Amino acid sequence: MERITIFDTTLRDGEQSPGCSMNIHEKLQMARTLDALGVDVIEAGFPIASQGDFAAVEQIAREIRRPKVAALARCIREDVERAWAAVRDAERPRIHTFLATSDIHLEFKLKISRAEALQQTREVVSLAKSRCDDVEFSPEDATRSDFDFLCEVLETAIEAGATTLNIPDTVGYTLPAEYGALIANLCKKVGNIDKAVMSVHCHDDLGLAVANTLAGIEAGARQVECTINGIGERAGNAPLEEIVMAMRVRADRMQYQTGIESKLLYAASQQLAGMISFGPQPNKPVVGANAFAHAAGIHQHGMLSNPLCYEIMTPESVGAPGTKLVLGKHSGRHALQARYAELGYRLNPAEVKETYTRFIELADRKKNIYDQDLLSLLPIERRSARASAAMTNVGAPIVS
């Protein structure tokens, strides 16, 4: 199994997106979680952006000892000095510098020529290297850049001392086969590529960030950049939990390993959700509230027979609370009977038949069915005082 470096940018690309800003204490707490989770590199922030960001990166660099701590810098001398000042106390500091290489960015945003971009790359990567042995370079908007020019910039960055070359799909434009081919061709055409690690950084504007990331790995990338819950600019970055679980679940096809302790994924997701202004959507893979929930009768029956029928990973493997059989109008008799049994009622076949009919009538009218509703469907003489007292979970729909 080949080892994939997990570079987490929750605290930089994630944090810079709407509704995701965190204060220094939250960033530090999250950095501790990322450390416990087993990420290899924490991109802690963009020190030139604000005094607060500088302080957070500096604090993380001083406290977090196992993972590498990276700071982002534009390809500008002042940014690099600021990034270095923030990470210099880290056990294993990294400066990550970037410069756009697509014509659209060069012409309209940076207003510099390709030749100037090359010169800036050489100068600023050399400066970063003189400060820090571990330098990463990203040609921003790489997937919309001219291929030959991209190769030239990357060769220059390696000559100047970059040891990781990250290929951002900055605007989430590329397609999996196309991105895989780009990574493979760069590995072939960039002369000195053997001196650097190839990295992928994919945005999710077309919902392809994970697919593109996996295609990049298969084509030779050995570092992936990702965030918890996929937070990041616009539609977000590739979600760490999805990439890690895709490789774990499909180890038959993708023989790569990471240092991630997958049982901590759900807790990390929840912790982040509590710090920013939104959580993962319910149907979010791996960590969403419905990722292990089943409402349809056929699925519930399958799950009760053998969870492998409808779950390709266990909730325990990612630290999620457990499989939920949500009762509603699509549920079947098996799930209803199982829930009654959990509540202490063993229904005989006639009772199941009778209760199920009344349950479906009710479920047609109500979105959420609660334990009290189930209780109310039983004949009064069947409701025990103990069970009635236990029927207090008014806040949540029935799950088992």
Residues that bind ligand KIV (CB under 6 A): 13, 98, 138, 140, 166, 168, 170, 201, 203
Q: Which of ligand KIV, Zn ion, none does residue 7 bind (CB under 5 to 8 Å by kind)?
A: none
* 13 lies in the site for Zn ion, by CB under 5 A: yes
Of 374, 362, 365, the closest CA to residue 398 belongs to 374
Q: Which is nearer to ligand KIV, 238 or 374 (CB)?
A: 238
From 6-14, 31-39, 54-62, 365-373, give the range in contact with Zn ion by CB under 5 A.
Answer: 6-14
**Count of beta carbons in the 10 Å neighbourhood of residue 344:** 10
The least CB distance from residue 400 to Zn ion, in Å, is: 41
The least CB distance from residue 318 to ligand KIV, in Å, is: 26
The least CB distance from residue 400 to ligand KIV, in Å, is: 42
Q: How far is CA 93 from CA 21, 38, 62, 68, 195, in A?
A: 23, 17, 10, 6, 19
Query: Looking at this protein, which amino acid is placed at residue 61?
Result: A
Q: Which is nearer to ligand KIV, 166 or 269 (CB)?
A: 166
Q: Which is nearer to ligand KIV, 82 or 203 (CB)?
A: 203
Q: Which of Zn ion, ligand KIV, none does residue 27 bind (CB under 5 to 8 Å by kind)?
A: none
Q: Which is nearer to ligand KIV, 94 or 294 (CB)?
A: 94
The least CB distance from residue 234 to Zn ion, in Å, is: 9
From 10-18, 64-72, 73-81, 318-326, give the range in contact with Zn ion by CB under 5 A.
Answer: 10-18
* 43 lies in the site for Zn ion, by CB under 5 A: no
Nearest residue to Zn ion by CB is 13
Q: Which is nearer to ligand KIV, 168 or 239 (CB)?
A: 168
The least CB distance from residue 168 to ligand KIV, in Å, is: 3
Q: Which is nearer to Zn ion, 154 or 304 (CB)?
A: 154
- Contact residues: Zn ion, CB under 5 A: 13
